[in-house]
Amino acid sequence: MKVAVWDTYVTRKDGEIMHFDILAPDHIKDAEIIHTFGKDYLQYKQHENQPLTSRECRFCHIEQATPEIVEGISQKGYFIIEMQGCD
């Protein structure tokens, strides 16, 4: 499965930066859908209502998904790779 990688930087409620990638099937090209995935993740991390727009989240590239990513996408529709400040 090919996935689109959306590079995302969101300011947390405490002012620190969260950097994470949103991975979704490459046929999803609507940024609003991707932003919805990011907002779902932010709510899960208790940083709901933080801005997440095209300013914070941008398409980066297409890559081949690993089995772990494919499994995550089959369960939620997307997969998050936490990079920085996501704890």
Q: What is the pLDDT along the chain (87 residues), one digit of tens a residue?
A: 999 999 999 999 999 999 999 999 999 999 999 999 999 999 999 999 999 999 999 999 999 999 999 999 999 999 999 999 998
- d(CA 13, CA 50) in angstroms, rounded, equals 7
Q: How far is Cα 66 from Cα 44, in angstroms, rounded to an integer?
A: 23
Instruction: Read off the pTM.
Output: 0.95
| CA 79/CA 22 separation, integer angstroms | 6
| CATH pick for 2-84 out of 3.40.50.300, 3.40.640.10, 3.10.510.10, 3.30.420.10 | 3.10.510.10
* Residue 32, pLDDT score: 96
C-alpha to C-alpha distance for 15 and 35, rounded to whole angstroms: 20
